[in-house]
Amino acid sequence: MFDIADRIADYVLRWPRELFVLEAKALLAGAPPSLGKSGGWVGEVGLLLTEAFVSETPAQDFENLDSAWPVSSARAKPEVDDPWGSATPPHKTSSFPEREFLEQLVATSSQFPEQHAPKLYYSQRMAGPTTHVPLVEPDLESAQREWVAAINDFQQRGYLGKAAPDPCVDDDYSGGFPEEVLDTVITDRLRQRGLWSPRPESWEEATFFDLVEIFHDLVARPRQRHFHNYNGCGWHYSNFTPRPARILYRWTVNRILTRNNIGVRLAKSGEDVGRLVSETDDARADLVEAAMNTPAPARKASVAHAIALFRSRNATIDEKRSACVTLAGLLEERRALLKQELFKADEGDLFLIANKFGIRHRDAKQKIDYDTAYLDWIFWWYLATNELTDRLLARQNGDLPPHT
């Protein structure tokens, strides 16, 4: 097997690790039975390696497998004695080294470093933390510049080719240039012209956020490409698939929004996936992902709806209260489980809070004069408790170890 242990430094991921593994496994699932029948599959793998890694080394190693693939000691010996010292060329140990190479990359993916912001240089390190003033105010202008640069990169890599393909020199250009097509798409969705072509220097916040969400829906990753060299035409892309492109888009845009302290991010899951929601810390984001993994379809839909209601960037107090009511109702369905697994008083207190304060029934006896931060606390508490009941049931069913 090809050994990349000494080349890890050249295998730096430009993509998030899980996305590379997702796309590599998709290619492996569709791999032909042998190299002789590979057709365009080898080209698809080469394109993946070119996109997913920072350097060209992985793609070059893949391309040079014929000379780099190791040989077994049994097959490396000369098949015929030759007084001149020559030997029959050694045989490769695999009939399909390209597939085995990709399988090894998947197996080794946890060792690959990911591309991050450059490390601090000497003067920056020596300045010390006291001289560093963190950015507090949101920088919408900078976020827009970085986002436009990211969109240009997506477009150059063919990720907008499904919605607005680049014209070929052999065509009559009747479909319009990509910028014009994109402007038409945006106009159809926002009922406002001139937001993309000609592109303004900046947008109002609401318009910018609309565009961020629209382009999430437009991107699609091309898994195939071919080069048209006539008259400098360039690459043409095909076999588009939205899911990996949207994962990469969310990952890219969320880093831009966080870097510029915008306070929102694109949701990664749930019924509001691809829509901007209020930013939370990593622990709460992980809780959302865990709570969304509930195995019961009906509960999953209710949890997703409650999360979407609560974390909307324009959520009202009533919408947040409604989200809490939904989660309280889901806990009510598992009250017997909570009573069995927790102390009885603790189980009762869960529902006392929802019933005594103005969350569920809203009658005259309930307390309603409290800070809205209370709704934040109760939502995350109830969401965590719902996720806890999933784990308790899984443990009872033997799907989890006793102390998990």
Helices within 35-135 (DSSP H only): 41-52, 57-63, 65-68, 73-76, 97-108, 122-127
Q: Nearest to residue 2, comparing CAs of 104, 79, 76, 89?
A: 104
Q: Which residues pair with 225 in a beta bridge?
A: 237
Express each pLDDT in 98-119 by its tens digit. Answer: 999 999 999 999 999 888 766 6
Distances (CA, A) of 45 to 29, 59, 68, 69: 12, 8, 17, 17
Q: Residue 111 gets which letter from DSSP?
A: G
Task: Give 263-312 as a DSSP string.
Answer: SEEE-SSSTTTTSEEE---HHHHHHHHHHTT-S-HHHHHHHHHHHHHHHB
Least confident interval from 113-117, 143-147, 278-282: 113-117
Contact 337, 343 (CB under 8 A): no
Residue 143, Cβ neighbours under 10 Å: how many? 21
Burial 108-141 (b: 16+ CB within 10 A, else e): ebeebeeeeeeeeeeeeeeeeeeeeeeeeeeebe
Cα distance between residue 394 and residue 402, in whole Å: 10
Contact 86, 18 (CB under 8 A): no
Question: Of residues 304 and 369, which shows the higher confidence score?
Answer: 304
Q: Which residues pair with 236 in a beta bridge?
A: 226
Q: Residue 109 gets which letter from DSSP?
A: G
Cα distance between residue 279 and residue 313, in whole Å: 8
Express each pLDDT in 347-368 by its tens digit. Answer: 556 666 655 554 554 444 444 5
- Mean pLDDT, residues 135-160: 92
The maximal CA–CA distance of the chain, rounded, in angstroms, is 105
Q: Nearest to residue 157, comparing CAs of 237, 43, 231, 247?
A: 237
Q: What is the pLDDT of residue 316?
A: 86
Helix, strand or coil, per DSSP, at residue 23 = helix
Angle, helices 205-218/140-156, rounded to nearest 10 degrees: 20
Name the pTM for this structure.
0.76
Q: What is the pLDDT of residue 370?
A: 56
Q: Is the dihedral of CA 177, 178, 181, 187 positive or negative?
A: negative
pLDDT over 70 for what percent of the chain?
A: 76
| Residue 268 pLDDT class (50, 70, 90 cuts) | very high
* Residues listed for the chain: 404
Q: What is the pLDDT of residue 223?
A: 94
Q: What is the pLDDT of residue 296?
A: 87
